Structure 1
Amino acid sequence: MFPAVSIVVPIYNEFDNLIALVDRIDAAMRSQPLSYELIAVDDGSKDDSAKRLLELAATRPWLRPVILARNYGQSSALQAGFDRVQGRYVVTLDADLQNEPDDIPLLLNRLETDPSVDMVSGWRKDRQDAAISRKLPSKIANRLISNATGVQLHDYGCALKAYRRHIIDRVHLYGELHRFIPSLARDAGARITEVPVRHHARTAGVSKYGIDRTFRVILDLILMVFLMRYRQRPLHAFGGLGLWLATPGFLILAYLFIVKLMGESIGGRPLLIIGVMLVLMGMTFVAAGLIGELLTRIYYESGGGRQYYADDYVIDETGGPPRMVRLDAHAAREQTVQPAAASSL
């Protein structure tokens, strides 16, 4: 029997927090009726976090430690957990106990009672961090990301989130895209809401964030905007930029050609170099777009990715007037997988 809820926690050098983290998550989940598992992913910790996880799991069958071979980063640690989830709901939170485990039932209750929501994102409305070093950059980043991606959230950085399983199955993390999970989820068809959650100051361990994070966020945001808008049509991005560069270049060269026909010398004019450079740069971008289109076609036609995601609807047979309801993707997968497995025996 699969658990109803899978909780994924990436861990890096959180030895001092692990006992309290595991016990508080257990206490929070015992206060609600859904069964659960805790997938704790150690991301190559340099302290004894992995050893402590194994010790805790020996007396807690619902705790599933995952020990990565080295430090791969938070996105890879989350993906390792996502690859192992079994529940129809998936919850994520940080291991530093700044997120409040007692808020997990609040997010799950929203998913249970509101079928129009696929993802519930926590909002640290009363954030307990330094105003200058953490709060101000976070507010700027949240506004920038919301405007660039079109997913309006107050708090992209809150790790406490809950998802329906089929959304997690559609999201694939790499690099440092964990910051943009709401955008990736929306791209996968998720309907997102936001609820205020509690936040605590760190009491043990050391923060893993530095000022260089700001520059990485900007670069990753550029990648996210490109993926969301041009992933299936790269020629529109590169080719459009190429035409904007090449068009003035062609006009400059046409003008110089007319001047040349009139008998004037154009060899020493800087305008000639500018025109040639613009044309060459424009054609390079167009060529890059064409190569991108070919790679995209190969990728999708070979089954490397999905061009779309869709929900299936069936007639509600539980009574009452006929109506269409969305088929639960996790339940549908179990119905299709189990008969196939039985027939192979």
Structure 2
Amino acid sequence: MSLPSISIVVPVYNEQENIAPLFEAISESMANYDGDWDVVIVNDGSRDQTAAELNRCVKQYGDKFLHVELQRNFGQTAAMQAGIDEACGDLIATMDGDLQNDPADIPRIVKELIERDLDLLQGWRKNRQDHMVSRKLPSRLANKLIQRVSGVMLDDYGCSLKVYRADVLKQIRLYGEMHRFIPVWMATVCPPHRIGQTVVNHRARMAGESKYGISRTFRVIIDLVSVFFFLKFRARPGHFFGSIGLWVGGIGGLMLTYLGLLKFVFGQDIGNRPMLLIASLLIIASLQFLTTGVLSEILSRIFFQTTNVKSYTVRKPLTCEYSAQIQEQKAAEKIAKQEDATKQENV
């Protein structure tokens, strides 16, 4: 049974000590993979000898490995997008270049993704080999925040070891520091039930220095605002701004109504009341939010009409011998269940 072709994308930055072991580990893990595979390693403007090590290892290990060199350090998200752009497999796997992710997990994840009929299978570092304060604690805080805002219930968003269906992944573009939220962005083009997780091996860093710290938790909070907006209101931004405007205007209107009653029914002086100023500002802010909503709707329609981006996505089947057999097995199980149900009804 042949498995679908897969491209493994690995962004690296200042990982000269890990390059040679990385090539060796991937080669050994994928040697028995029953399908075409290749590796796209993106050097994100490393300042050490990473580029030289990559060139040497590419010559040593052959055509399965592609070295993409970025002009400068653009960040992990940009490096990952560069690798995704170069990937040509039916599936795309991503992993870190620090050898903490185990490439031996990839063949198993591929089979599990097909068996569970998913678009994304996220690795879960259940037994994480990292420092509690500098890595584990920020990651746990970030995971809880993302779960609460996005509604995509995964336990380890930060794990770079993931396997995607390429045609689904390439419907989104990664900018800024969106690599933390790829499962959430995937939920904008596929239903959440097609996003799953599986326990993967995690190893302690043996060489080089970590590029993460507790400061990323605060960046997550800022990025979550954008994630929430695009997840819920990408095609209808007017609802986002309009809802805020209506709430603000409603509160301001209630305040003015109360002050009007005091003025015209009870004859009280309201000219010096702070509530009058606050209510007036809320009404003005409401009008601004409503106007912004209308303008954003206009811009949204112009965007969809003048670009190739659509407000919907069409699913394409993943064709390979292994997935075909899985579908046949599921169909047979469904028929068997229906027959059992019919027999029980007859009894």
Q: Choose which of 271, 279, 289 in structure 2 pairs with 1:275.
A: 279
Give the structure with the higher percent helix. 2
Q: Choose which of 208, 214, 221 in structure 2 pairs with 1:205.
A: 208
Q: Deviations over 1:263-294 (max 9, x none)?
A: 54432221211111111111111111111111
CA deviation after TM superposition for structure 1 residue 136, in Å: 2.6
Write the distance in 2 (CA, Å) between the matches of 1:143 and 1:247. 32
Calculate the aligned-residue CA RMSD, in Å. 2.4
Q: Deviations over 1:61-115 (max 9, x none)?
A: 1111111111111111111011111111111000000011111111122234x16
Write the distance in 1 (CA, Å) between the matches of 2:126 and 2:246. 45
CA deviation after TM superposition for structure 1 residue 260, in Å: 4.3
Write the distance in 2 (CA, Å) between the matches of 1:250 and 1:224. 31
Write the distance in 1 (CA, Å) between the matches of 2:159 and 2:7. 18
Q: 1:19 to 1:73 in 2, by over 3 A?
A: same
Write the distance in 2 (CA, Å) between the matches of 1:109 and 1:240. 44
Write the distance in 1 (CA, Å) between the matches of 2:261 and 2:132. 62
Q: Matched residue of 1:117: which SS?
A: coil
Question: Does residue 195 in structure 1 map to residue 216 in structure 2?
Answer: no
Residue in structure 1 matched with residue 341 of structure 2 by the alignment: none
Q: Choose which of 287, 293, 299 in structure 1 pairs with 2:291.
A: 287
**Residues 323-334 of structure 1: matches in 2 within 5 Å?**
none
Write the distance in 2 (CA, Å) between the matches of 1:178 and 1:64. 21
CA deviation after TM superposition for structure 1 residue 193, in Å: 1.9
Residue in structure 2 matched with residue 252 of structure 1 by the alignment: 255
Q: Matched residue of 1:10: which SS?
A: strand
Q: Choose which of 76, 81, 84 in structure 2 pairs with 1:82.
A: 84
Aligned residues: 317
Residue in structure 1 matched with residue 120 of structure 2 by the alignment: 119
Q: Matched residue of 1:22: which SS?
A: helix
Residue in structure 2 matched with residue 175 of structure 1 by the alignment: 176
TM-score normalised according to structure 2 size: 0.85
Residue in structure 2 matched with residue 235 of structure 1 by the alignment: 238
Counterpart contact for 2:120–2:163, Cα < 8 Å: yes
Q: Matched residue of 1:166: which SS?
A: helix
**Residues 300-311 of structure 1: matches in 2 within 5 Å?**
300-311=304-315
Counterpart contact for 2:135–2:212, Cα < 8 Å: no
Gaps of 5+ in 2: 319-323, 332-347
Q: Matched residue of 1:83: which SS?
A: helix
* More displaced 10-residue stretch of structure 1: 246-255 or 90-99: 246-255
Counterpart contact for 2:16–2:50, Cα < 8 Å: yes
Q: Matched residue of 1:245: which SS?
A: helix
Residue in structure 1 matched with residue 162 of structure 2 by the alignment: 161
Q: Deviations over 1:96-146 (max 9, x none)?
A: 00011111111122234x162222111111100112332233223222212
Q: Deviations over 1:180-206 (max 9, x none)?
A: 111112221161221111111111111
* More displaced 10-residue stretch of structure 1: 45-54 or 14-23: 45-54
Residue in structure 1 matched with residue 302 of structure 2 by the alignment: 298
Write the distance in 2 (CA, Å) between the matches of 1:124 and 1:255. 56
Write the distance in 2 (CA, Å) between the matches of 1:52 and 1:13. 11
Which residue identity lines up with residue 222 of structure 2 in the other structure? L
Q: 1:213 to 1:23 in 2, by over 3 A?
A: same
Q: Choose which of 84, 97, 100 in structure 1 pairs with 2:99.
A: 97
TM-score normalised according to structure 1 size: 0.86
Which residue identity lines up with residue 68 of structure 2 in the other structure? V
Higher-RCO chain (CA-CA 8 Å, sequence separation at least 6): 2
Q: Matched residue of 2:148: which SS?
A: helix
